[in-house]
Amino acid sequence: MSTIIMNGKKTAQDIKDELKAEVALLKEKSIEPTLAVVLVGENQASQVYVKNKKRACEYIGIRSLSYELDCTTSEEELLKLIHDLNSRSDVHGILVQLPLPKQINEGNILLAIDPSKDVDGFHPINVGNLSVGREGFVSCTPAGIIELMKRYSIPMEGKKCVVIGRSNIVGKPISMLLLRENATVTICHSRTKDLALECQGADILIAAIGKANFVSKDFVKKGAVIVDVGINRLENGKLCGDVAYDECFDLASAITPVPGGVGPMTIAMLMKNCVLAATK
């Protein structure tokens, strides 16, 4: 059987086209979905992500307001901006790009964003809603992974899923979402013993470690579905994932490439959350 490449770039484009039509309808009702994008400092990767998010907004017809703050910005100044944006009825979504400079406490900032404008799904209220199965914003990368697998008709119910990584942004929320799909979920991390052995049991393997080519063929059961969340830049400038793609490819029944897999889906789901925020 040949391996299915789950094309996140194309799937994200389909979703953006669907959203474009929805936004046109909202505009007929005089609602202009608006996202405030806040970037503090000059982290290069963050600058690229923010540029891509603003470009997606433009394509769909979402108005984006851009706040690019100096790396010396204090926590108080950032909190003041968030409170202003919270109180503006013409702003539907607020995105503070992470990571933040070290003088700013990330937890305090995420807590300050109005949960009904938290299109990243990082506020503890939204995290809690996800874990108890209530409606709320779901963080974009995990939501994008589920959406991609659904659009490729990958069955999740009853499957053994192994998630490598326990971050608040990916590992924990993707585990909750897989559970919601009735999968059996194992979360592995840097202290897990016999990691390769754990992963060999996976029908669906989600790699969110942040180490280039970390997952070798010794981690992969024949026929497994592999989702690669990593975006690592090699010394030669090339992007690669957390999975050694070439050597795992033949073993997998389906796999996401890097670039062009999970990354574009993250942005598509952010756009979906913005449209949802404006609709409510």
Q: Which two tokens stand for residue 39?
A: 């970037």
Q: Which of 16, 90, 117, 120 does the annotation list as catalytic? A: 120
Determine the residue type at 48. V
Choose which of 22, 118, 120, 228 interacts with ligand GUN (CB under 6 A).
120
Q: Which of residues 257-276 bind ligand GUN (CB under 6 A)?
A: 266
Q: Are the CB atoms for 205 and 225 separated by under 8 Å?
A: yes
Contact 103, 86 (CB under 8 A): no
* Farthest CA pair distance, the chain: 57
DSSP state of 207: E
| Only segment of 90-98, 155-163, 181-189, 207-215 that touches ligand GUN (CB under 6 A) | 90-98
Task: Report in angstroms how near the CB of residue 95 gets to ligand GUN at its nearest.
Answer: 5
Interface with ligand GUN in residues 221-240 (CB under 6 A) = none
Start-to-end C-alpha separation, the chain: 45
* Residue 122 beta carbon to ligand GUN: minimum distance, rounded to whole angstroms: 7
The dihedral sign for the CA sequence 169, 170, 175, 180: positive
Q: Give Cβ neighbours of residue 31 (< 8 Å, ≥ 6 apart).
A: 278, 279
Window 139-158: residues binding ligand GUN (CB under 6 A) = 140-141
Is residue 10 among the annotated active site residues? no
Residue 97 designated active-site: yes
Q: Which of residues 165-184 bind ligand GUN (CB under 6 A)?
A: 169
In Å, what is the CA distance from 234 to each residue of 153, 168, 171, 213? 32, 25, 23, 10
Q: Which residues on neighbouring strands pair with residue 163, listed in sequence order?
A: 187, 206
- Angle, CA 236 vertex, CA 233 and CA 239 arms, to 5°: 30
Question: Looking at beta carbons only, is 222 or 233 nearer to ligand GUN?
Answer: 233
Enumerate residues 121-140 that contact ligand GUN by CB under 6 A: 140
**Residue from 78, 95, 100, 262 in contact with ligand GUN (CB under 6 A):** 95
- Which of 53, 117, 159, 172 is the catalytic position? 53
Q: Site for ligand GUN (CB under 6 A): how many residues?
A: 9
Q: What are the residue numbers of the active site?
A: 53, 97, 120
Residues that bind ligand GUN (CB under 6 A): 95-98, 120, 140-141, 169, 266
